[in-house]
Amino acid sequence: MILRGFALRIEDSGEDDLNLIFFSSEQGKIRILVKGARKPLSKLRGLAQFFVLSKLAVIKGKRNNHLIGGEEIKSFRNIFKSYKKIKESSFLLSVLDNFFPFLKKDHKIFVLTFKALEKINSLKEEKSEIIASAFLIKFLAFFGFKPELKRCLVCHKTLKDNFLFFDFKEGGTICLACRRKNVHRQEISKEILDILQKLLYNDFNSLAMYHFKEENLKIAREIIEKFLIWRK
Ligand SMILES: [Zn+2]
């Protein structure tokens, strides 16, 4: 079979093989054995690389999927030029590696990931955090856990207070009047809510034009990450 996609994880296996966790548009996340990849002169080693969109030829063996050939389609080589870009791109791949199931085909999440990598590659490094945060909240939404950010989850009224709460268990915002005593919520300001809404609803191109306050973006990111862990 021919698979198009990118590496999520590359690890040593046995004497001189590699285990490649690959995220493909055709089969979703799949484990591929790259035989002899750690031997000198291995022709297959170059196909197991991070931040490259590649086309792989894979055959199904009795116990493993084996890589037999392939080629690079597009390299996101600018990512390697910046520590920040590497950090945020690696984070994005680790989310798929840790939270996305094997062999679940998902075109929307594949395209989302491809676009996020493309943006981190091409934009200034200062934008990497916005793109990775937007990727994360959009990933959650596509995965079936879209947070409620427009209304109160209890009374369903639109949110008007300056302070409100994000409930990790219920998955969204709760107004001041409806707040209950539970440990699963965090108070958030209107500014943080605004960032969360933009990250969820705006596309990467328009998000790249915003200048969020660094500390606010950091808080918004922490909320999304906590929400992700709650969904696991
Ligand atoms: Zn309410």
- Mean pLDDT, residues 208-225: 96
**Within this chain, do residues 24 and 93 fall inside the same structural domain, yes or no?**
no
Q: How far is the CA of 197 from the centre of ligand 1 (A)?
A: 18
CATH number at residue 206: 1.20.1440
Decide if 207 is inside a domain. yes
**Within this chain, do residues 51 and 102 fall inside the same structural domain, yes or no?**
no
Q: With b meaning 16 or more CB within 10 Å and e meaning fewer, what string describes 134-154? A: bbbbbbbeebeeebbbeebbe
pLDDT digits (tens, 9 = 90+) for 140-174: 999 999 999 999 999 999 998 888 999 999 899 99
Decide if 18 is inside a domain. yes
**Within this chain, do residues 31 and 18 fall inside the same structural domain, yes or no?**
yes
Q: Which domain holds residue 8?
A: 2-75
| Residue 182 pLDDT grade (very low, low, confident, very high; cuts 50, 70, 90) | low
Decide if 159 is inside a domain. no
Question: In the listed set 57, 75, 93, which residue is the last one of a domain according to the structure?
Answer: 75
| SS3 category, 113 | helix
Domain tally, the chain: 2
Q: How far is the CA of 173 from the centre of ligand 1 (A)?
A: 9
pLDDT above 90 coverage of the chain, percent: 90
197 has a pLDDT exceeding 90? yes
ipTM above 0.90, yes or no: yes
Question: In the listed set 26, 47, 75, which residue is the last one of a domain according to the structure?
Answer: 75
- Mean pLDDT, residues 130-137: 98
- Mean pLDDT, residues 5-24: 96
Which is it for the CA torsion 43, 114, 86, 144, positive or negative? Answer: negative
pLDDT digits (tens, 9 = 90+) for 42-99: 999 999 999 999 999 999 999 999 999 999 999 999 999 999 999 999 999 999 999 9
180 has a pLDDT exceeding 80? no
Q: How far is the CA of 182 from the centre of ligand 1 (A)?
A: 15
Can you give the pLDDT at residue 152?
95
**Within this chain, do residues 56 and 86 fall inside the same structural domain, yes or no?**
no
**Within this chain, do residues 7 and 50 fall inside the same structural domain, yes or no?**
yes
CA distance 195 to 190: 9
| Residue 7 pLDDT grade (very low, low, confident, very high; cuts 50, 70, 90) | very high
| SS3 category, 195 | helix
219 has a pLDDT exceeding 70? yes
Q: How far is the CA of 212 from the centre of ligand 1 (A)?
A: 27
Q: How far is the CA of 225 from the centre of ligand 1 (A)?
A: 24
